[in-house]
Structure 1
């Protein structure tokens, strides 16, 4: 799976009113904006999917700023801690607001985030608290939504002819019931291409089902989740099954410290299954308890122990089916959280147990300190303090072997236009948590020590400059790196919006890493330096019903082994996107030409696609990519979407390899989707 997408923007003018404001805008109008805050290559696919779904849900059920609680405002993760604190203070002092335009008076909130807030918030007439609805009200006034989608490939893979046990079509559905911000329930069914449907191991149809019930604001119960749910506690060093921010987004955003959310994802990993609740014990004190039991996929050793826990979710072949749900996992724990006067302190503890021992191959150096055994204990203490222009937060975690991981960040709002951020982390190579996800360079909360510094500056209202530098040292071997190693990552980005029609942005990234290199199978492994440079220039124009974007990407990579000659990989890509909205119809098209030497100079391109999906493919070699997108809003309750995309390679006669191999130089996919509200 590719590293994924990042999202962007838009407006929606707040109209002063005494009732809920209406928003006449195209779906996902905020997408172009959000793209300016994060980097496509910098966030894992499952993180981007989770982040995107939360924003989609927030768009459909926006926050009423006259009634929003502190917990509600934590959902606005695109705000920095300082911006969220200032917004909270403004609401406490001046509610009820009369217009969304009053947010202009919160000085630390920059124009871009003001536009985002207009997409996800509204102003109601009254600010009195509404009681929790009755069952009759929920049944009568609840909203239903059904989304169904399929992807049809106009080609055959090798596995479609011989190897995969199911047909080549990918499809899924999602049913959601909502009553405001109080009740949410749903069922999702998902099927990957090649997986059996109503046969073999999937007698009940889909390969994966997600089901949940989430209740919020029920008296002292701030949240109750039944079924599948996602949980984030502290900064995620011990427990986080939700998303994490990439380095670019970290410069100006912050993720909620504690959150229980429903799992409606099509992914078979990154969730808990059972029950969780957060209750207000006292005015400033909350307690959270959670329990989970589920079966997970694993590769087994000959003695029946677990060699590797799997997260791909693929069950297409007989060997993949044999790995399906063959190990059970039980998790139970709790959290306490105290918050008052800008200070937050919390503690988490939980235990994870399996029905069979984890026994990784410790003969491989990078797995020497991987989790081993049947039971694993984790605990953490997190802390935060916000005062005027400073915001400090951190977490220190420990596992059952007394190995430590700590993450500490400080943000200084030097002026309303200048924000400085520094992050320190130390993750012992002996530390491990099966549910950790937080800030890192290597993607794991283990075997990493580092320092990160960032700046976000608005020298003038229409110009934004963002930059970071991050150094990390890995004292123990990692996958693909057989010795201790280091990395240094740097990024500079600028965005200029002279008016509401034009947006010009440029980004440059320099990343220095180390990796194993072998000149041939018989040669000795060397630790090579990898110098990777990427640049992007984007020009966007929007006027009335038209939108267009021109994007140029370039990549230049040097791999320098100590005993061999330097390897150079370079490439570039030009992408043109255009979209038009004509009444009930939205039409978008994009075309790209790419030419790179190999995978090391691969490039990424975002494409508009169906709802709750991402299309952010990577390209290497030489070829062209084209896609057409059509959305028809039949009425306010029914939406139909179709997309066709094709890729033609000029430098090869087949695409991919093994069971995924396509024996031709081009491939075309068609996506169809229906969304029905009732």
Structure 2
């Protein structure tokens, strides 16, 4: 078999070079603006995934050592396709060349093309891969000065600090082996002083190492993230829901990950370790303790203080925001027992959460069934496995031994052209894990019972027809709807391309949402529904590794029951240019939008600097102009500048609240200097 495999590899190497190659100019996270509005609002703290993507482009993964979660993180392959690659490697031995992927029946040529920039094959005589790292300094601000920085009625500004944000970050890491680093951050409006504070508003630090001791396979100290099963109890890894690829419904991440992002909330601080128990058994333990920002209520003099909510944005600009800093001490400890056997995995998870004050949400009908108290215990059982072309996975979990929540999913590959997904879930109203991140219609897996169906069909090479339908009902009243509800999401998308020449797609999304319909008496509400349709069409012209020209038109229609429908429009054109062999890169956008209200807002991904992304929401009538310029030097130094203007002709102000600016335009300026090594 060996000589036949070698001959096949040589043939594929010579014949396949015309098929796949490096992606044009750059490959940003454009799939982010294909997500739902609620999900986009939740992903701002996942900037650490950009570290991983940039590193992998510079140091591609070895197909002969790559793991399941390595292939899953790029959101290109579904679990059935990933399993096909790993099964092929186990059956026929190490890959000779990346083009050998073409002989795997479950993989389409388009999937291989998209994956190609991130994979390679190392041979025994090659030098061991070195680590990579960087040091960066970033600052940004807005013009004109925002309301929060202005004195009004002889009173001092509401924001206590300067209008510039500052980020200093260092990281050195090697995939699967080690990572260490730290970051210093101050958001715009936060004070910068050394009176009882370390100057910067927030400091991150982490140390992560694998294979450090005989029995300890992985060790994490400082800041880290824990991801368990399908996210019912605990999941801090990067995961999104209902994207443009309907089959990306599985949570796939290492249990322990170093944290190098900039969020001040969605991470743990303490220690975590993976123990090698031999054979198919693995054990993971972690402990975390940190003071969190929170809203305290009650009567302190009567020792009846409790907290009603955590503050997750990490902002300490005003006296009111600063008063919520570090109010509640949080202690979390957990354990995972994992059994792996061939293509099946089963995990048993236990987690304890304790707080220095009892948790009690504000009194509302949607909070009546929430669990309260100072201590919470949760358990879950998760599983995943393959039966030929069928992939089954799911999780069942309970908090305080109450009725369980569960999610069960299946992916089936009919052939290389057709794949389907099915997901069934039920989350009781009392089930509300703080760091849960399962597939759900809401930001947390709570108060819903639903079924999701997705499909991908490839009618021909470089073409794909996709759709999903998600239907769910509310098990208990919510903040938006004080009664029984039945909501739905639907998407259909067709995309096609001519390799290295052009690509285009057309996409339709429909949302059916319940909300309260107020009567004359505010004490009584009935449930009504609002329908929203988004239609998006995009065409992109590509000049391989030189420039990329993108044009998009999007129309949104919102129809509240018994109300007049609203229509919104947005058109933009992007140009990304980098001459072959040049050290300069340029990107720009010009767009026009006419969107009547925030309810019909449109999100749009914009070109940004390295290790950062921007997905602003647009509403009103006006223009958007954005520009970015980047210069790189031979020794790894890179300087980048980015700016964006929003013009709203005839408006008295842009924005609202303390973030509003007087006049009809608003400008953001961002600068970054980075040294990569």
Listed as ranges, the matches of 1:266-285 within 5 Å are 266-285=262-281
Q: Secondary structure at the match of 2:102?
A: helix
- Report the counterpart of residue 589 of structure 2 in structure 1: 590
**CA offsets per residue over residues 363-389 of structure 1, 9 Å max, x none?**
311111234110000100011221211
Q: Residue 628 of structure 1 aligns to a residue in which SS?
A: strand
Paired position in structure 1 for 2:329 = 328
Residues 479-498 of structure 1: CA deviation (Å, up to 9, x unaligned): 22222212111000110113
- Aligned partner (choices 564, 568, 572) of residue 565 of structure 2: 568
Give 1:60 deviation, angstroms.
4.2
Q: Spell out the pairing of 1:241-320 with structure 2 (5 A cutoff).
A: 241-248=236-243, 251-253=246-248, 254-256=250-252, 258-303=254-299, 304-320=305-321
Cα 1:625–1:525 shift into 2, 3 Å: same
Distance 1:46 1:261 in 2: 18
Question: CA, structure 1 residues 543+368, in 2 after alignment: closer, same or farther (shift >3 Å)?
Answer: same
Kept in 2, the 8 Å contact 1:473–1:485? The answer is yes
Provide the C-alpha distance between the structure 1 equivalents of 2:465 and 2:23, rounded to a whole number of angstroms.
28
1:70/1:489 CA distance change after superposition, 3 Å: closer
Contact 1:190 1:209 in 2 (8 A): yes
Say which is worse superposed, 306-315 or 632-641, in terms of deviation.
Answer: 632-641
Instruction: Check the 8 A contact 1:235/1:257 in 2, yes or no.
Output: no
State the Cα deviation string for residues 582-623 of structure 1 (Å, max 9, x = none). Answer: 211111110000001111211122111112212111111100
Q: 2:183 aligns with which of 183, 188, 209?
A: 188
In structure 1, list runs of 5 or more residues that go unmatched: 1-13, 17-22, 134-140
CA drift at 1:251: 2.2
Q: Is the 8 A contact 1:47 1:244 kept in 2?
A: no
Deviation for aligned residue 1:106:
2.3
In structure 2, C-alpha distance between the alignment counterparts of 1:634 and 1:209, rounded to whole Å? 29
What SS is found at the alignment partner of 1:185?
strand
Q: Secondary structure at the match of 2:54?
A: helix
Q: How much has 1:74 moved relative to structure 2?
A: 5.4
CA RMSD of aligned residues (A): 2.6
Deviations 1:255-274 (A, max 9, x none): 32642111111111111111
Q: Does residue 1:214 correspond to 2:215, yes or no?
A: no
Distance 1:89 1:37, change over 3 A: farther
Distance apart, 1:204 and its partner CA: 1.0
Seen in structure 2, the aligned counterparts of structure 1 residues 214 and 61 have a Cα distance that, compared at 3 Å, is farther
Residues 662, 117 of structure 1: alpha-carbon distance in 2 compared, 3 angstrom cutoff: same
- Give CA-to-partner distance per residue, 1:303-358, whole Å, 9 cap, x none: 22112111111100111111011110001110011111322111000100011111
Q: Are residues 517 and 567 of structure 1, via their aligned partners in 2, closer, same or farther at CA, if it must alter by over 3 Å? A: farther
Q: Is the contact between residue 69 and residue 253 of structure 2 (CA under 8 Å) also seen in structure 1?
A: no
Relative to structure 1, the CA distance from residue 538 to residue 623 in structure 2 (aligned partners, 3 Å threshold; closer, same or farther) is: same
**1:632 corresponds to 2:631:** yes
The CA deviation at 1:465 is 0.6
Q: CA-to-partner distance for each residue in 1:419-439, whole Å, 9 max, x for gaps?
A: 011000000112121221110
Residue of structure 1 equivalent to 2:97: 99
Shift of the 507–142 alpha-carbon distance from structure 1 to 2, 3 Å rule, reads closer
Indicate conservation of the 8 Å contact 2:463/2:497, yes or no: yes
Task: Please tell me whether residue 602 in structure 1 is matched to residue 597 in structure 2.
Answer: no
Distance 2:297 2:440 in 1: 30
Per the alignment, residue 359 of structure 1 pairs with 360
- Compared CA separation, residues 604 and 519, structure 1 to 2 (3 A): farther
CA 1:380–1:181: 2 relative to 1, 3 Å: closer
CA contact (8 A) 1:235 1:394 kept: yes
Indicate how the Cα distance of structure 1 residues 445 and 15 shifts in structure 2: closer, same or farther if over 3 A, else same: same
8 Å Cα contact 1:225/1:262 also seen in 2? yes
Instruction: Say whether residues 1:149 and 2:159 are aligned partners.
Output: no
- Give the secondary-structure state (helix, strand or coil) at the position aligned to 2:200: coil
Partner of residue 451, structure 1: 451
CA drift of 1:199 comes to 4.7
Partner of 2:654: 655
Q: Is the 8 A contact 2:46 2:261 kept in 1?
A: no
Name structure 2 gaps, 5 residues minimum: 1-11, 15-20, 151-156, 300-304
SS of match in other structure, 2:112: helix
CA contact (8 A) 1:183 1:215 kept: yes
C-alpha separation in 2, matches of 1:47 and 1:60: 23
